[in-house]
């Protein structure tokens, strides 16, 4: 576990949160929405896109795959930017890359009846933008919010990303009902993206005073933090399932139309299924995140939600072929969305809690990068597992869904085992915010080490907290 330096007592420290924090949070939400919308622009209408550009649906899948690989390539630089500069530079970089990528994509759809290669270049540039805004929420909430609101702030900003995917599933199929509508659809998205990006250059960089004791305390330098983090068992017990569940959310979102169309369902019905996945998930996260902020039951929530996620992937194997029509798929999508989205911010915040005083963007970036990389691989593998024209029905993805079900089940015991077998895991950041000073390290500590750590801790009682009335 992390090594913490003793945090010196602070005399009559005033910790404040500022109303202006919401301006940056809103911009981060909008950027995550628009980036995700750009990611699934063509996946939601894969058949129509393939017809417009004269390519196969597998080639259209590469627009999503290339987007995710771009995420992985730039992620080490993302960690450095967030660690050294904070969320503001990351937000500015996101906006700049979004502007360039969107207008290149529009040029690719408009020039010479459609240039698929140019669209791919624009898509990759937008893929480079995504990690800067997707990995920023834990860093932003840590900097601007107190312990009372960090999980909710992380949830709002992180889950804006799948909200963008829901918009893509619903809106794109309506804007591009025929191949000739593709250029206009991309133009509309480019205009909206431009409007969203402009405020990014004007948001404040950091609060005038710290929001909490943990945000004002010393942090482990980047390189030692990464070295210690990768040697921490609990880190991997969270990273592995997070990576797998994000990966299959990405692949299912990208391939949903191809999963359902062999059974006679339309692109519109596939879009509704994708929207249910995300909208129900957002509602569940909106309920769970404030509860978690209030009670801090991170691990208990994870242990409840993981089995529901696994059951949902099992159900997805059978739902598309059900004689009851599209309804079972809608139900499974709702369960999968509710459990996955509720767990996502809880897992990210729990990782930040147990790895303090490491800066939170390190763990979150590793988690998201793993999800994007495995998501790209999952799309390739599931596309290869698609049945041929002689399948029953032709080109069904039943084997691909079995693959996602098996892998999701295999990783489920990992987060369930955190804190078992004699290992004690502390919510270290919350302890600091409550005034408990972390006095000694407890790398891979046994019970004796934990007792020594508790004995070395003391309560800081001279700190105060208030919300600043000035925006």
Q: What is the mean pLDDT of residues 217-237?
A: 88
Residue 51 CB contacts under 8 Å (≥ 6 apart), including other chains? 179
Q: At what angle do helices 267-295 and 327-355 cross, to 10 degrees?
A: 30
Q: pTM, whole model, 2 decimals?
A: 0.78
pLDDT of residue 253: 79
Q: What is the mean pLDDT of residues 235-239?
A: 94
The C-alpha atoms of residue 205 and residue 211 are separated, in whole angstroms, by 14
Q: Is the pLDDT of residue 457 over 70?
A: no
The C-alpha atoms of residue 245 and residue 381 are separated, in whole angstroms, by 16
Sketch the domain layout of the chain as residue ranges.
Answer: 16-467
As a CATH number, domain 16-467 is: 1.20.1250.20
Q: What percent of the chain has pLDDT over 70?
A: 89
Q: Is the pLDDT of residue 162 over 90?
A: no
pLDDT of residue 8: 43
pLDDT of residue 2: 52
Q: What is the mean pLDDT of residues 156-163?
A: 86
Q: Is the pLDDT of residue 458 over 70?
A: no
Listed residue (214, 154, 150) closest to 357, CA to CA = 214
Higher pLDDT, 335 or 256: 335
Q: Kindly report which listed range (51-60, 289-298, 366-375, 427-436) carries the lowest average pLDDT score.
A: 427-436
pLDDT of residue 90: 96
Q: Is the pLDDT of residue 471 over 80?
A: no
DSSP 3-state of 11: coil
The C-alpha atoms of residue 325 and residue 36 are separated, in whole angstroms, by 29
Q: Kindly report which listed range (176-190, 268-282, 373-387, 452-466) carries the lowest average pLDDT score.
A: 452-466
How many CA atoms within 13 Å lie on the side-chain side of 422?
Answer: 6
What's the distance, Cα to Cα, between the start and end of the chain in Å? 38
pLDDT of residue 18: 87
Predicted confidence (pLDDT) per residue in 3-44, tens digit: 444 344 444 567 888 889 999 999 999 999 999 899 888 887
pLDDT of residue 95: 97
Q: What is the mean pLDDT of the chain?
A: 85
Q: What is the mean pLDDT of residues 337-345?
A: 93
């Amino acid at each position: 576990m992390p090594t913490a330096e003793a945090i010196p007592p602070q005399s009559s420290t005033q910790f404040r949160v500022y109303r202006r924090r919401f301006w940056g949070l809103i911009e981060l939400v909008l950027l995550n929405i628009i980036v995700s919308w750009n990611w699934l622009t063509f996946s939601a209408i894969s058949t129509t896109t393939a017809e417009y550009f004269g390519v196969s649906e597998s080639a259209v899948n590469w627009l999503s795959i290339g987007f995710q690989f771009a995420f992985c390539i730039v992620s080490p630089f993302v960690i450095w930017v967030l660690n050294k500069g904070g969320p503001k530079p990351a937000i500015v970089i996101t906006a700049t890359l979004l502007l360039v990528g969107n207008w290149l994509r529009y040029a690719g759809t408009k020039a010479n009846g459609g240039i698929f290669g140019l669209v791919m270049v624009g898509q990759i540039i937008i893929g480079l933008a995504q990690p800067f805004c997707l990995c920023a929420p834990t860093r932003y909430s840590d900097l601007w919010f107190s312990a009372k609101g960090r999980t909710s702030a992380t949830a709002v900003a992180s889950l804006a990303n799948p909200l963008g995917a829901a918009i893509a599933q619903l809106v794109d199929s309506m804007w591009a009902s025929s191949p000739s509508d593709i250029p206009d659809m991309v133009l509309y998205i480019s205009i909206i993206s431009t409007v969203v990006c402009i405020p990014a250059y004007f948001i404040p960089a950091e609060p005038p005073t710290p929001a909490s004791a943990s945000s004002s305390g010393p942090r482990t330098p980047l390189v030692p933090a990464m070295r210690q983090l990768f040697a921490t068992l609990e880190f991997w017990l969270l990273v592995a399932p997070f990576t797998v569940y994000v990966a299959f959310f990405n692949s299912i979102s990208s391939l949903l139309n191809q999963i359902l169309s062999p059974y006679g369902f339309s692109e519109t019905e596939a879009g509704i299924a994708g929207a249910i996945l995300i909208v129900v998930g957002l509602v569940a996260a909106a309920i769970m995140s404030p509860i978690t902020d209030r009670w801090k039951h991170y691990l208990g929530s994870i242990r409840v939600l993981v089995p529901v996620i696994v059951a949902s992937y099992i159900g997805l194997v059978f739902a598309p072929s059900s004689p009851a029509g599209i309804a079972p798929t809608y139900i499974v999508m709702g369960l999968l969305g509710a459990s996955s989205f509720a767990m996502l911010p809880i897992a990210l915040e729990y990782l930040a809690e147990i790895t303090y005083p490491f800066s939170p963007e390190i763990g979150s970036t590793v988690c998201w990068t793993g999800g994007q990389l495995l998501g790209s691989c999952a799309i390739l593998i599931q596309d290869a597992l698609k049945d041929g024209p002689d399948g029953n029905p032709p080109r069904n993805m039943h084997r691909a869904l079995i693959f996602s079900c098996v892998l999701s089940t295999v990783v489920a015991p990992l987060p369930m085992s955190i804190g078992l077998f004699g290992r004690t895991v502390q919510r270290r950041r919350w302890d600091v915010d409550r005034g408990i000073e972390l006095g000694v390290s407890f790398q891979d500590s046994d019970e004796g080490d934990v007792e020594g750590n508790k004995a070395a801790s003391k309560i800081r009682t001279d700190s105060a907290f208030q919300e600043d009335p000035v925006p």
